[in-house]
Amino acid sequence: MIPTFKRVLFVACIFVCFGSAVAQTNAPFTRTEDVIYGRKFGTALTLDVFQPDKPNGAGIAYMVSGGWYSSHEAINAGSMRPFLNRGYTVFAVVHGSQPKFNVTEIVPDIHRALRFIRHNAAKYGVDTNKLGITGGSAGGHLSLMMAVKGEKGGADAKDPIDRESSEVQCVACFFPPTDFLNYSQPGEDAVGVGTLKEFKTGFGPRSDTAEERQKLGREISPIYFVRSNVPPILIIHGNADKLVPIYQAEQFVKRCQESGVTAKLVVRDGKAHGWQGMEKDLEIFADWFDEHLRGIKPALRQ
């Protein structure tokens, strides 16, 4: 059982940050629950597929994750609305959850989910070259990990799903951790200590010593893997966020821009780790996906 404070934070991330009243129009869709995309130590890894009645051919992988805790019960259909209303097929991915699994064990689940989506793209009416990814907080971190570390499939893999790529073509996320070794300022270690000490189980036993934290921090921080071919990235972040300081987004976007990557940071003044009115920000995400997955010029939004 996840500790109470983490359950509260998780609910805040998933239900406040991705509130249910996210759109005025509600296009019809079909939901297929508990689709098995892989297995882990005998346990099924699942995702839910949301298919609009009028699909546009593009897909979005939606990270159901807060504090690297993931649960099928936390999937909020209302939060998919801005994407479904524009014809996106949405895959709500539930990953192996902490405290049983740590970040280094969770990231492979997301690679697997994306490979599964690609392998079944024709079934779901999705173009394999038009896959976006989204999430908030830990879900944002996992989204960026796929942006910077998406991999080609193994041509000789025994499982045909593993022959597919785990790359994404576009990212839009809320307040993601990007550099656990320089958290709110240079040199600040947050690998299961300091600000993130309550999330130590999410980092695993390697967070026990300073030496191992330095190694682990580099392995799981997206900022260290930015390269020129990273896909377009949009981050929306509140500048009063104490859990994930806006410094995280600022430094990551700066690194991306220095590397020639299309990256944008939208700052929400005075906002913390989630805020009322985020449904408007989800529409901005949909604009970003429209522009970078479908080539549609976005509406002007603040």
Token pair, residue 88, equals 């996106």
- Residue 80 predicted with pLDDT over 50: yes
Would you say 275 and 243 are in contact if contact means Cβ atoms under 8 Å apart? Answer: no
Q: With respect to residue 214, please indicate whether it lies within any of the assigned structural domains.
A: no
| Cβ-contact 108, 40 below 8 angstroms | no
Structure confidence at residue 26 (pLDDT): 81
Tell me, what DSSP letter sits at residue 42? T
Mean pLDDT score, 45-63: 97
Would residue 196 count as lying in a domain?
A: no
Q: Give the structural domain span for 105.
A: 4-178+229-293
The residue with tokens 């839910």 is 48
* 264, part of any domain: yes
What is the structure's pLDDT at 256? 98
pLDDT tens-digit readout, 11-52: 444 434 444 444 446 889 999 999 999 999 989 999 999 999
Task: Tell me the C-alpha distance between 56 and 52, whole Å.
Answer: 9
Q: What is the pTM of this model?
A: 0.93
User: Count of domains in the chain?
Assistant: 1
Instruction: Tell me what pLDDT residue 21 has.
Output: 41
Residue at 99 is within a domain: yes
Given a contact cutoff of 8 angstroms between Cβ atoms, the answer to whether 188 and 167 are in contact is: no
Check pLDDT > 50 for residue 92.
yes
Neighbours of 71 (CB within 10 A): 16
> What is the CATH classification number for the domain harbouring 153?
3.40.50.1820
Question: What are the tens digits of pLDDT across the range 20-29?
Answer: 444 446 889 9
Domain for residue 108, yes or no?
yes
Does a structural domain hold residue 205?
Answer: no
State how far the alpha carbon of 108 is from the alpha carbons of 16, 135, 173, 203, 262, in Å. 27, 16, 19, 15, 25
The Cα 73–Cα 94 span in angstroms is 10
Helix (H) / strand (E) element for 286: namely: helix 278-294
pLDDT in tens, 106-123: 999 999 999 999 999 999
Instruction: With respect to residue 217, please indicate whether it lies within any of the assigned structural domains.
Output: no
Cβ-in-10-Å burial (0-12, 13-18, 19+) of 298 comes to: middle
Is the dihedral angle over the CA atoms 20, 51, 106, 70 positive or is it negative?
positive
- Section 169-188 average pLDDT: 98
Residue 212 lies in a domain: no
